[in-house]
Amino acid sequence: MNTLIGVALAVCLSVVQTIQDVDSPSQASTETKQVSQNTELEKLKEDPLYPFIDKQNQTKVENGMTYIVNEDNLLILANKKFLMQKTYIPADLVVPNVAFSFGDTTIEKAHMRKAAALGLEKMFQGAKSSGYELYAVSGYRSYKRQQEVFDAEVAAKGDAKAREAVAYPGTSEHQTGLAMDISSKSQDFNLTESFGTTEEGKWAKENAHKYGFILRYPAGKEAVTGYQYESWHFRYVGEEAATIIYQNNWTLEEFFDHVKALDKKVQQAEAKS
């Protein structure tokens, strides 16, 4: 009797072990898949663009127009597709300690948001150390002032031509307080394409990223930005983003196209994990 019980017990243990052996490959496969998915997500998070996912525009649509909600975002993307509200005025506007092409620095165009102003000061000092003198020409511009500038351009050149050269109110980067038009003595402080051919303009284009700025409307990118080449218009985005944009020869639009693509991959990876 004891022998029979022993044999039966051995058979049962053998069956249990067999079941466990059958289940193990499946369990291992699931665990391997989970590890692979986690690895994919971690790899995506190591992408240099990952920190900028939450810096994308947050928007709302009103009367067929797309308005930016997070207007204080230092990487705000304001263009012909994304508008700022007419009531938006940056709360931290200051006057940067740099040389201006005009005398009265109490007027609004002498102002910039604090982070941009500090970056501009460093940029101008960097230029001076390299033997170049830069001059600030036009910074912050209110919605009201932009309306006046745009209307004057329409009166002079017509609506179609005006929209190519001057931002429609609400779409101007100058309203963000993060942009500054720059010139030099050699250009009589004027804002012309030829500034880009001057030694000062060349230095600014090649070194602005070191101080957090990008040449916002480069030549050859008109179809992307929606604006003509502006050798004088520099926009603050912070040193990290500016360096990435410079190294890849991107516009701010292209930068966020890549950020958006990464965001989509991250969301897909998170859904799988």
- The first and second tokens of residue 1, run together, are 């009797």
Contact 96, 115 (CB under 8 A): no
Q: Report the alpha-carbon distance of residue 221 to residue 199 in Å, rounded.
A: 22
Please report which helix (H) or strand (E) contains residue 153, including its range. helix 143-157
Please confirm, yes or no, whether 230 is among the known catalytic residues: yes
- The first and second tokens of residue 91, run together, are 């709360």
Contact 92, 113 (CB under 8 A): yes
Q: What are residue 259's phi and psi, to 5 degrees?
A: -65, -45
Catalytic residue among 230, 240, 254, 270: 230
Please report which helix (H) or strand (E) contains residue 181, including its range. strand 179-183
Q: Give catalytic residue positions.
A: 230
